[in-house]
Structure 1
């Protein structure tokens, strides 16, 4: 960029304003002189006092009009068509003032001079402004990578304008599927049909495709993303209209596709009455409040306006983080809910019972558990202590504190488990079912579902990081499949299931169709602008290799959600209830005594044997080495 223009753009705002006003005064004077020259066809003519006075008044009023139209507040490099419209309007006022001055001051102003003056003034005043913006735009855009915008609606128009004036990306093409919008010009960009992508891609070499479509259904959005996934380009999106309207995001904040977009799952809308039944105006407690599921439960619960929300968490930092977030939601929604942040372990029954009694808790969501399969497999005693005895202690505390509703967050890994984590969660279910038989003051409910996308153990954040680093992506097995659900959807369904429960009932969430992890990995690679590595094809610079690391200890190829075949629907289309085998409280009491002793002695093989013989369905990949513990025989 040549030096004078560069100095002008780098000057302070007041200096720019004075330079612009000085230029406009000179330009208006020159325009008036040239108008008279053209009319009289001579470069020299006599000027009397009325003519001089008319010129001064015309220029002064013109500058005042420019100020009122905001022309000295506009930034030259960002000037667009509306600013030129303001210039034209101000010049028309100036020409009209010139005519009036000729009449009132009896100065020599031929009738054609104001019209000639207006045309010349518009060229001299508007031309340099357009030139400065054009030079700056073409200079500045060379530093920005090219991108395509998908969507020629209002969101796409606003995004194009924001990006053109921003510093990050240079939009070159707008794509749309609507034939009526094709060949329109938006902010200087031509709208092309999406079928022209291939030839446009080779011409402009964009680095990203930005989705600027928010006013369509989730189903149509998933179809659009499936279509775009075939393009060899990274795909990102603009924030939702709701986030922009709420002030939580700006239109030009480009972000990766959401986890919901990657999953391609359309959540079922919640039933509002079920969400509020056990929460609104009640005291609610969430154990494991800082975890992936627990924290989302807290977010959903606070929106239903409980009288008190007790956040119970063992990890200090996680508790600090979720309390700050919930307090922020409370402030933004102007709620009166009392927020209690409580540190502690669910294994300490007296601590849990004190909190429940002191805060008169009516509803408990028990999300505190160790869920990472390999870690629990390597730390069996702590897994049993937390998942089995932690649940037992929290349940006994709830009974003693006269809590009305207690909901356990269970897992699909509790069904015919092949690992200790799954077996411990099945034991937790059996404990609550036995306690439900022992008493009827507290209603115990179990909600079983599969993996949630975006949780601390989810594959999606791991895959994203591995792709950004250039690979390889690690998948345990080419045939491994998992059920997936979004965390907010899972939390809402847990709350709704708990509201429908009868004592000892097991609910199963409809997880939709299972997802093959290998397919999910390939989908993410393509949506991030890369290609899965093909060992039989030609190596590509942007290819990402997929490695198979093998099944981890206790890991299954296929997850299940049901044990028995006796499954019935409920009032909610995504929630089913299952009738599973149970143990009596007398049998469970014996098992808990055995497990407690074995955990104290760190007898790992005997612990596995108890799990194996306790009708949990536990079938480890390697059977226990001892057979000294007697199995419990009776089932109900």
Structure 2
């Protein structure tokens, strides 16, 4: 039945109910009424019919999806019926000089029962007559809270989902054996998933606790995955309530869900004060981090966003994406430029005079930079210095450098150049009267271009094996959106010269990451296989986020630490740079320079 047919059917049903209700109520209780005539009953019926359709339109009683009826829809019926009966009572009283209170009260009650019943009956018919339950996949729902109840209700009213909720589990003992929507009971806790899947022949497990801690989510996934059932996860409940996502938009559990950290809450007010109505410039805007910074920045309504990068195609893609999404609400200005070109950077920053600069342009691959150290120096050190000095000259308020955990005690060229880039920022901050310059240091980013996850996925698709450098190799991980959000938050917190570090939780073994990806791809470890290829040039077994002397229990912001290095003079860096281009021992010069600097202290 289409929308027009349903509208006509409801209109006819309501007209019959409203027209006959006055007569039915009168003749059932006729001995109690005096002074009524057939003419008066007909007049009352006509007035009630007209007023009911008027208020039915105002309260949208004909264009709702009644197969999904809830308390909200029933309240709309009460409002519409009450308003129509009150108006009819007033009109008839004016026409006849007295009030027929008892008749109208009984008529009101009958309207509620019959009109409400006609709507709810459609939901019942749709659920139990038209839905073919035998074709639906038996499903276990993890979570008996708001998310779980919403999901079960959606499954029961939307056969297109193809799932039949059979049972639920929840770790809250107070919810044991309670009945949720349409007879679905809580039969145990998450520890019982494996036994319940087998007992009830469950084919799908849906995790309906989107705010679940990552460690707990990992444990639930492990238990559910052992059963062979497909494991899905529900979107964030706040996004559902805000209308950004639907309850039914379930997705497979991804490695980002299992290994990503619990998200950090941003100081939206402080960030908005910094970005709203201003010109923002992002270097490396076509890269994984740079493009995500752009996506996050536009949420705060800057007047202009300058997306700068030297890769034509990547800048084209992020420019198209942002313009298609924003439809002109923010001016997007694409600029093709290389941060190594000092004159070009000064020209562009002077032209647009951004209030905030996010510097994400860098060479980041450790083995490649070991083989090409001069290029690492040009891009990571000189590129940072060029951009930062251009920002100072242009009167930029905040300059935020995207740094890395590989800058801590670096044994490789990439990490060493990023540490010197941090020194450049801190030295320039001391000399700048107006511009505040800071660095943000974090670990590996899940799914970024050239990172380990895309590589592992390609190897799995090719049938394996997955290559891991060393069984004990560990890294800190975070998601691309979170890394970008941290960069933006750091800019809002910056007083100048700081190195912001995110509390990234526990490091993850790369071999465990490989095993998770194999399982999530639907294979067993024996089918794909894992091989160890050996540590590559410049790699460390364990990454660090802070030097030992930097470790401090206090946080400047929830899950964000702040470090401030000891004095580093810009003259020292200026003397270092020529040596890097005139000596074959570039790496040793870099590492020696870093080691001779005093250790950092947290403030």
Say whether the fold is shared (TM-score over 0.5): yes
C-alpha displacement at 1:508, in angstroms?
2.7
Question: C-alpha separation between the residues in 1 aligned to 2:566 and 2:375?
Answer: 26
C-alpha displacement at 1:445, in angstroms?
1.6
Q: Which residue of 1 is the match for residue 310 of structure 2? A: 314
C-alpha displacement at 1:562, in angstroms?
2.5
Pairing partner for 1:552 from 510, 521, 536: 536
Pairing partner for 2:209 from 202, 208, 213: 213
Q: Residues 230 and 565 from structure 1, CA distance in 2 versus in 1: closer, same or farther, beyond 3 angstroms?
A: same
Structure 2 unaligned residues grouped into runs of 5+:
10-55, 57-62, 71-122
Give yes or no for the alignment of 1:490 onto 2:483: yes
Q: Which residue of 1 is the match for residue 562 of structure 2? A: 577
Question: C-alpha separation between the residues in 2 aligned to 1:264 and 1:456?
Answer: 17
Give yes or no for the alignment of 1:374 onto 2:352: no
CA contact (8 A) 2:477 2:507 kept: yes
C-alpha displacement at 1:398, in angstroms?
1.8
C-alpha displacement at 1:286, in angstroms?
1.0
Q: Residues 210 and 469 from structure 1, CA distance in 2 versus in 1: closer, same or farther, beyond 3 angstroms?
A: farther
Q: Which residue of 1 is the match for residue 594 of structure 2? A: 616
Q: Which residue of 2 is the match for residue 267 of structure 1? A: 263
Question: C-alpha separation between the residues in 2 aligned to 1:198 and 1:594?
Answer: 63
CA contact (8 A) 2:403 2:442 kept: yes
Question: C-alpha separation between the residues in 2 aligned to 1:132 and 1:449?
Answer: 52
Question: C-alpha separation between the residues in 2 aligned to 1:299 and 1:529?
Answer: 32
Pairing partner for 1:149 from 130, 137, 141: 141
User: Mean Cα displacement is larger for which, 159-168 or 453-462?
Assistant: 159-168
Question: C-alpha separation between the residues in 1 aligned to 2:509 and 2:311?
Answer: 33
C-alpha displacement at 1:575, in angstroms?
3.0
Q: Which residue of 1 is the match for residue 107 of structure 2? A: none
Pairing partner for 2:188 from 173, 186, 193: 193
User: Mean Cα displacement is larger for which, 587-596 or 407-416?
Assistant: 587-596
Between Structure 1 and Structure 2, the one with more helix by share is 2
* RMSD between superposed Cα atoms in Å: 4.5
Deviation sequence 1:461-514 (CA, Å, 0-9, x none): 555565666654433221111122333333333233334434433333322222
Deviation sequence 1:543-587 (CA, Å, 0-9, x none): 653332322221111111224615565632433333445543333
Helix, strand or coil: the match of 1:267?
A: coil
Question: C-alpha separation between the residues in 1 aligned to 2:455 and 2:240?
Answer: 28
Q: 1:18-417 maps to which residues of 2 (within 5 A)? A: 141-142=134-135, 146-152=138-144, 155-156=147-148, 158-160=150-152, 162-163=154-155, 165-167=158-160, 169-171=162-164, 173-177=166-170, 180=175, 182=177, 184=179, 186-187=181-182, 192-194=187-189, 196-203=192-199, 205-214=201-210, 217-219=211-213, 222-231=215-224, 232=226, 233-257=229-253, 261-263=257-259, 265-327=261-323, 330-331=326-327, 335=329, 337-417=330-410
CA contact (8 A) 2:374 2:581 kept: no
Helix, strand or coil: the match of 2:286?
A: coil
Question: C-alpha separation between the residues in 2 aligned to 1:246 and 1:468?
Answer: 37
Structure number, greater radius of gyration: 1
C-alpha displacement at 1:314, in angstroms?
1.8
Helix, strand or coil: the match of 2:448?
A: coil
Question: C-alpha separation between the residues in 1 aligned to 2:146 and 2:571?
Answer: 66
Q: Which residue of 2 is the match for residue 591 of structure 1? A: 576
CA contact (8 A) 1:79 1:133 kept: no
CA contact (8 A) 2:500 2:562 kept: yes
Structure 1 unaligned residues grouped into runs of 5+:
1-11, 21-67, 82-128, 534-542, 599-604, 618-632
CA contact (8 A) 1:222 1:264 kept: no
Q: Residues 433 and 172 from structure 1, CA distance in 2 versus in 1: closer, same or farther, beyond 3 angstroms?
A: closer
Q: Residues 443 and 166 from structure 1, CA distance in 2 versus in 1: closer, same or farther, beyond 3 angstroms?
A: same
CA contact (8 A) 1:79 1:130 kept: no
TM-score between both structures, scaled by the size of structure 2: 0.69
Q: Residues 588 and 180 from structure 1, CA distance in 2 versus in 1: closer, same or farther, beyond 3 angstroms?
A: closer
Helix, strand or coil: the match of 1:346?
A: coil
Q: Residues 293 and 545 from structure 1, CA distance in 2 versus in 1: closer, same or farther, beyond 3 angstroms?
A: same
Question: C-alpha separation between the residues in 2 aligned to 1:365 and 1:447?
Answer: 10
C-alpha displacement at 1:196, in angstroms?
5.0
Question: C-alpha separation between the residues in 1 aligned to 2:68 and 2:395?
Answer: 68
Question: C-alpha separation between the residues in 2 aligned to 1:441 and 1:131?
Answer: 70
Question: C-alpha separation between the residues in 2 aligned to 1:79 and 1:244?
Answer: 16
Deviation sequence 1:63-94 (CA, Å, 0-9, x none): xxxxx9xxxx999xx9999xxxxxxxxxxxxx
CA contact (8 A) 1:173 1:192 kept: no
